[in-house]
Amino acid sequence: MRKASKREKKAIYRYNEEDERTLLEDILGFVKVFAITAIVILVFMNFIAHPIKVNGKSMDPTLEDGEFGFTSLASVWLNQINRYDIVVVTTQQDMTDSQTGETTNETIQIVKRVIGMPGDTVSCIDDEIYINGAKLDEDYIDPDYIKECREKYGYFNQIEQISTDDEGRTVVDYVDFPEVTLGEDEYFVMGDNRPVSKDSRDSAIGVIQRNQIYGVGVLVLYPFDELGLKG
């Protein structure tokens, strides 16, 4: 068997050296692409948009339970918050463990619609919302749907108030929706599905501070037949 000549050995050595250098360049290239991609994703999710899942029926029929999409963070940074916008709000809520019965106060995100802007006086008369004495046009709510809900749940100008009687029993009353004047950086938000929505009418949530608004609008990506920007 013929031994490799010195020239052939040098050629093989150069080939292996070039091969290793190419492999190293490929690895470094992959790491660079991965790092850039990770940075872009982090910037996107922290400053531009963030994924959101709709939980519950408080925004029916505009947004349905289980829908998934993105909300715009940039609109909040740019102070682009307007009346009728759908917003994602960060708030506190008491959550009860179904197994242990223990109640803890947790930070949650809820999806609602902006009804009142800073400085507005908001009131509700016979299911109609008034802003500074003028009736609010709410074309996103179906009158037939309102009628059906009124017959089933009662008037929208009433809110659920939960209290405890002298014997420790939970009592659910309905109280009139009070007129409220919003301060600087305060917003009044409501769900489109008024009878089942816990929103600014509920003292547990109340008026929303601007720094509680996490995102504006919801771009629904799933289910696919609901694809589109809401709010």
Q: 122, 86, 123, 84: which is closest to 213 by C-alpha? A: 86
Q: pLDDT, tens digit, for every residue of 113-163?
A: 999 999 999 988 777 889 999 999 998 887 777 677 667 766 555 555 555
Q: 166, 220, 211: which is closest to 187 by C-alpha? A: 211
Q: pLDDT, tens digit, for every residue of 59-114?
A: 988 999 999 998 988 888 888 899 999 999 999 877 777 778 788 888 899 999 99
What pLDDT is stored for residue 185 in this prediction?
93
| Cβ neighbourhood burial of 17 (10 Å; 0-12, 13-18, 19+) | exposed
58 is known as an active-site residue? yes
What pLDDT is stored for residue 30 in this prediction?
73
User: Collapsing DSSP states into helix, strand and coil, what is residue 96?
Assistant: strand
The answer to whether the CB of 113 falls within 8 A of the CB of 192 is yes
Report d(CA 63, CA 219) in Å as an integer.
10
The catalytic residue among 75, 112, 123, 230 is: 112
Strands 228-230 and 68-72: unpaired
Report d(CA 217, CA 85) in Å as an integer.
6
CA atoms in the 13 A half-sphere facing the CB of 59: 25
Report d(CA 181, CA 33) in Å as an integer.
52
